[in-house]
Amino acid sequence: MRSVSELAIARQAPHASGYVTAKMSPISVSRADARRIWLHAQRLDERKPFGADQGAVQTTIEHLGYVQIDTINVIERCHHHILFSRIPNYRRADLHHIQSVEKSVFEYWTHALAYLPISDFRFYLRQMRQHRRKPVRWNQAVARRIITASYARSGKTGRSQSGTSKTTCWSKRSSCGLAASPAKALSNSRSGTVW
């Protein structure tokens, strides 16, 4: 059994001072219970938690808060795995439909590029305006020497440190726009460049 740390929460109460701070008592949760709680929160504990139709994609993204867009695709791109694991009849066209036709989700950079419910758009407006006034490159915080060393390690052959050959967009930096900016890379992916 593992103990959950004690948390202090503020709650509104009918008190003259306005707010009263209350402390929650620590509780113990078994590993099995913690696993059940986590699986239920992610809705991985039932077969069709959001339904099986096209609307299930929207409901899933709203419940999860966002679905990270990931270009890693051993079998399929990661964000499609996330949706398929919760929607057995999921089709990639369903995600495209809610983004491009219904416009009920949008793409934006949270901690990574993600699909977000349009109802959360207002929470990102300040960040979007700030970025428009003062653009920040995605790799600006990385020291130039680290980037140079990384390029030198992979060399002109497109081989990684492990010696395996890269046949992805990452091995052709200039053709997919990665050296220029992530925005250009994203626009290239939308125009048909295969990642």
Q: Whole domain around residue 106: which residue ranges?
A: 55-119
Say yes or no: 113 and 63 in one domain: yes
- The predicted model scores a pTM of 0.58
- CA-based nearest residue to 65, from 98, 105, 92: 105
**Which of 156 and 173 is assigned the larger pLDDT?**
156
Say yes or no: 97 and 147 in one domain: no
What is the number of structural domains in the chain? 3
**Which of 141 and 195 is assigned the larger pLDDT?**
141
Residue 105 exposed, middle or buried by CB count within 10 Å (0-12, 13-18, 19+): buried
Say yes or no: 98 and 70 in one domain: yes
| Residue 94 clears pLDDT 90, i.e. is over it | yes
| Gap between the Cα atoms of 107 and 136, Å rounded | 18
Instruction: Check if the beta carbon of residue 73 is closer than 8 Å to that of residue 195.
Output: yes
- The residue assigned the tokens 């993600």 is 114
Residue 161 lies in a domain: no
Residue 130 lies in a domain: no
Residue 160 lies in a domain: no
| Residue 178 clears pLDDT 80, i.e. is over it | no
pLDDT tens track for 125-152 = 998 898 888 887 766 666 777 777 777 7
Say yes or no: 182 and 147 in one domain: yes
Residue 182 lies in a domain: yes
pLDDT tens track for 28-63 = 999 999 999 999 999 999 989 998 888 899 999 999
Residue 184 lies in a domain: yes
Say yes or no: 140 and 88 in one domain: no
Instruction: Give pLDDT, residue 155.
Output: 67
| Gap between the Cα atoms of 136 and 127, Å rounded | 11
pLDDT tens track for 73-91 = 788 888 998 999 999 899 9
Residue 64 lies in a domain: yes
| Gap between the Cα atoms of 128 and 122, Å rounded | 10
Strands (E), 77-176: 105-109, 113-117
Residue 98 lies in a domain: yes
